[in-house]
Structure 1
Amino acid sequence: MPEYLTPAVYVEETSFRARSIEGVATSTLGMAGLARYGPISYRFNADEYVVQPPPLITSYGEFERAFGGLGPVKDDTNYLAFAARAFFANGGRRLYVSRVFNFPRGDGGVIDDEDFDACFARRPVGPEPDAGPGAEPPPRPAWQARWPGSAGRDIKVEVTVRRGRDVVVRDADGAFVRLSTVRPFDLVQVSDEDAVPTGAPDPDDIRLVQRVGDDLRLTDDDGVADIGADTKAYLLQLQVVVTWAGRSDVYTELAVHPDHPRAITRALGLKDAADDLALVWLRLPIPDPDEDDADAPGPIAAAATLLADLLDGDSQGFLSEGGNDGADLAVGDFAGEQADPDDPRKGATGLNALTDVDDVAIVAMPDSVRFGTDMTAVGLLIEHAERQRYRIAVVDPPRDSSISDVRQFRAKFDSRHAALYYPWVEIIDPTVVPDAGSPPPVLRLPPSGFVTGIYARSDIERGVYKAPANEVIRGIRRIETNVTFDRQSTLNPEGINALRFFPGRGNRVWGARTLSSDPEWKYVNVRRLFIYLEHSIEKATQWAVFEPNNERLWTSIRRTVEDFLFIQWRDGALLGSRPEEAYFVRCDRSTMSQNDLDNGRLICLVGVAPTYPAEFVIFRIGQWTADAQRS
């Protein structure tokens, strides 16, 4: 209890309400798969890692900016991009994407440095230095793609210089007074001409602004530079324009000196860049420790040389060197590598990168169809959902599956955290321009992107307790296989959710079952409702840990959970005409023994009656005559 040591009036705040439980998000999707370009965690060298968690995408436009458009990946359909497009078209709002990429590996699974560098497109900066006959030329600075992939060769970099006004302030007699509108480590160009210089600045005319005592002065590698009576100094700032696939990023007011707050090597660096989704970075050669420092240029001369190299005409243009899509992918690449708990520099990849994203409630991997009937890829996805507990996996059937094929495929799985949808769907291919008078080009896609969008739409419009079925599928031309009433009578009992066409009602999802053999977890909405309840209660009751384990705490826990479940019952998520019929919460001596209390365990027993979907709506109709009595 608080201490009262001095006689006085004490006013204290207290609460007479139970702590509230805020429901977690249920419509956030996480996907892992191949992309044309984009963020991925990788090991740059022996000492450096690039750690990039899966970015949050809230529209298909953001997906295009981060991962490119619908163009092919490894000369095949870009299933991930089409799935993201379908997800947002069908009502999805939040998506986390984990890109999968396989760097070439040599013997023993070690990534060779040359093969690693070949995955990144680049463009050297400045003229190639003369190394002499038979000698290897020293490395040059280069614009390098920040992420691996052949799409990096389509990135274009253009660098221009902008000059500000004269920064030298003089008195009435023309004597130097101070420098204006500059800060330390700015580069300026000095000139004795009245006209503002144009073109690339001469490295001999470059000076560096540094603080000398309490004042800012122009310096060169020999010390403080003289400012003549006619000398003018113009602030030099770079503008870098990076374009790719319709995207244009403009970086302004950049400086060359590495100690400047807006240094180009910071704003466009490999790590901690100003833009997490930056396309390129400026790679500078690592100094040779064996090189004689006496032969190395001074820092101002080096900055002036780099500035001239960046503005060189041969340094502008596309990243035309290097860049490939890595080695062939294996199933295990989609699981990825786990993060190292003892080394925060190492990031997770593949499905493992989605592990630490707490918001994800739905997971999908449309690229699993690349492996045909091999169940390993789908098994990895289901294993991920089960291991994370609060997720459900949306599974795609193999390409060109018949009714018999999909039944055999489904028979390999038994999981309460997964749902299978059949068949594939057909869309008009937006990447192909049709010839005049010819039929529109079509493309067949797995259904997971469309279905996960419907999951999100149903959650937002109705709630997670509503089965995500009898919902219109947006953005498709037709369903690949016509699933009739009789065909679905074979699929539905086995937990295969059909996509069907109904004349006058369009294309709809016509199933809401999981891949579980347990009748308690037969329906998708029941599984997802319990995920929602369990996750919400777990997150909102963390305050109870280390509280005194007594009747006061038990009462508070009961009130908190009961208030939350009452809202769910009122909204229609639970059965029963009264709250007592819909749920119960017990947290008292009947749920805990003395041994539990002695070992610090608080046990709360919660029971809920979920609503099941009206899967079979039956009307019984018979003849009735006016003189007959009603039964």
Structure 2
Amino acid sequence: MPDYTRPGVYLDEVPASPQPVTAVSTSTVVFVGCAASGPVNQPVLISGFIEYQRQFQRSAKAEPPGQPDAMTLAVMAFFGNGGKDAYICRLASANDDNDVAELTVNDYNQFYQTVLAALNDYSLLLLPGQHWQRSKHAQSNAVISASLAFCQQQRHCLLLLDLAADIQLSSAAGASAVGLPASSYAALYYPWLTITNPLASGMLTVPPAAVAAGLYCRNDGRYGVWKAPAGVTAKLIGITGLAFTIDDNIQQQLNPLGINCIRTLPRVGTVIWGARTLAGKTDTEWRYISVRRTAIFIEQSISQSLQWVVFEPNDQPLWQAVRRNISNFLNTLFRAGAFQGSTQQEAFFVRCGLNETMTQQDINQQQLIIELGFAPVKPAEFVIIRIRYALSPP
């Protein structure tokens, strides 16, 4: 406070209200698996494929030409389709021979609980080299299930998983027999894709999860996380073909099961033509990827921005500040098109206060309870056009 000792006009900088809610990133991906070299059990943030090669591949002389390893293939596909930032997490197998098949469920779980649980600035998890198999007892299925359990526990990331390359789906019955996990924290794309090998001559077959992750980042930056990463705007880059052809009949059987098909459409190109999680029919509220990711985005933005409230007096001034800050954040999203409704009241609500979200007992137990709700926008999966012809009387 200045010492006012004479008459005059004084300028006084008044601190702003408690720091506002700021949006977290939705475009950072974590790849967990084997790599040719590089730090072990340590997330390394990279922003391009060349940076990955420098840190996680052997020298060009030592690296044989041909099929890249699973991690290299996934990272290459991710950045090739618009990916921005990625954590590379190299797990070493028992023989340290860059063989993902040698990794066990315990290797993944130990890394998740000791290292990855402390990291919260990512929103997608991928497992290069681990593919869902038909066999219920496959090691890779156990790894994927454990990774999905971790995502559900953390509540801030979506697992993108791949089917094994030899699984061909042509009916709902066949897809159900594969025994996919049911969760809104998981998404699956089908089929595998072919690309031109940028590291040597020939073609490569790549699993689609990393390609989809790159598209997520591109879609988030252009439209927002609430826009479904699918449709004619979800055109994939550098894809030369599909391992299996998807027609309307196959898609209408796979889509209700949450299997997102990749298709090549006339005059459009190769696009993602599905926008569902693996939530299943019993959890329809979280059926769509964009709805689940929007909820994660809002939850993480608010929880990370409200650290300042800890140890503040749990009374009216705090409740008002919390309601104001969260409402301002949600109103920004509303204006950007993230919610349904023509007014703020229709789009979202924020509640915090005594006899509203808290009892006196809650306050005595040092609990600040906030309730909020929002009306998410959902993709127009089924566009129905009704055409009526007015016939002239005879």
Q: CA deviation at 1:355?
A: 2.7
Q: Distance in 2 between matches of 1:328 and 1:400?
A: 17
Matched-pair contact (CA < 8 Å) for 1:385–1:391 = yes
Q: Could you tell me which residue of structure 1 aligns to residue 217 of structure 2? A: 456
Q: Distance in 2 between matches of 1:545 and 1:16?
A: 18
- For 2:48, the aligned partner's letter is S
SS state at 1:515 partner = coil
The one of 309, 312, 323 equivalent to 1:547 is: 312
Deviations 1:259-286 (A, max 9, x none): xxxxxxxxxxxxxxxxxxxxxxxxxxxx
SS state at 1:519 partner = helix
Alignment of 1:91 with 2:59, yes or no, is: no
Matched-pair contact (CA < 8 Å) for 2:230–2:271 = yes
Alignment of 1:331 with 2:331, yes or no, is: no
SS state at 2:326 partner = helix
Q: 1:91 to 1:352 in 2, by over 3 A?
A: farther
Q: Could you tell me which residue of structure 2 aligns to residue 502 of structure 1? A: 265
Structure 1 alignment gaps of length 5 or more: 42-52, 105-148, 150-323, 338-348, 434-440
Q: Could you tell me which residue of structure 2 aligns to residue 556 of structure 1? A: 321
Matched-pair contact (CA < 8 Å) for 2:18–2:308 = no
CA RMSD of aligned residues (A): 2.8
TM-score, structure 1 as length reference: 0.56
Q: How does 1:518-533 map to 2 (within 5 A)?
A: 518-533=283-298
Q: Distance in 1 between matches of 2:182 and 2:290?
A: 17
The one of 173, 182, 185 equivalent to 1:414 is: 182
Q: CA deviation at 1:456?
A: 0.6
- For 2:191, the aligned partner's letter is P
Matched-pair contact (CA < 8 Å) for 1:372–1:399 = no
The one of 470, 474, 477 equivalent to 2:240 is: 477
Deviations 1:515-537 (A, max 9, x none): 11201000000000000000000
Matched-pair contact (CA < 8 Å) for 1:371–1:377 = no
Q: Which has the larger radius of gyration?
A: 1
Matched-pair contact (CA < 8 Å) for 1:18–1:559 = no
Matched-pair contact (CA < 8 Å) for 2:120–2:156 = no
Q: Distance in 1 between matches of 2:121 and 2:220?
A: 14
Q: CA deviation at 1:605?
A: 1.1
Structure 1 or 2: more helix by fraction: 2
The one of 393, 399, 423 equivalent to 2:159 is: 393
Q: Could you tell me which residue of structure 2 aligns to residue 66 of structure 1? A: 55
Q: Could you tell me which residue of structure 2 aligns to residue 28 of structure 1? A: 28
Q: Could you tell me which residue of structure 2 aligns to residue 155 of structure 1? A: none
Q: Distance in 2 between matches of 1:477 and 1:7?
A: 74
Structure 1 or 2: more strand by fraction: 1
Structure 2 alignment gaps of length 5 or more: none
SS state at 1:529 partner = helix
The one of 228, 232, 241 equivalent to 1:467 is: 228
Count of residue pairs brought into register by the alignment: 376
Q: CA deviation at 1:326?
A: 7.9
Q: Distance in 1 between matches of 2:220 and 2:46?
A: 18
Q: Distance in 2 between matches of 1:72 and 1:402?
A: 32
SS state at 2:350 partner = strand
The one of 480, 486, 511 equivalent to 2:274 is: 511
The one of 345, 348, 361 equivalent to 2:123 is: 361
Q: Could you tell me which residue of structure 1 aligns to residue 374 of structure 2? A: 608
TM-score, structure 2 as length reference: 0.88
The one of 56, 61, 65 equivalent to 2:45 is: 56
Q: How does 1:129-528 map to 2 (within 5 A)?
A: 329-332=102-105, 334-335=107-108, 337=110, 349=111, 353-369=115-131, 373=135, 374=138, 375-403=141-169, 405-409=174-178, 411-433=179-201, 441-470=202-231, 471-517=234-280, 518-528=283-293
Deviations 1:503-554 (A, max 9, x none): 2211000101001120100000000000000000001111111111111111
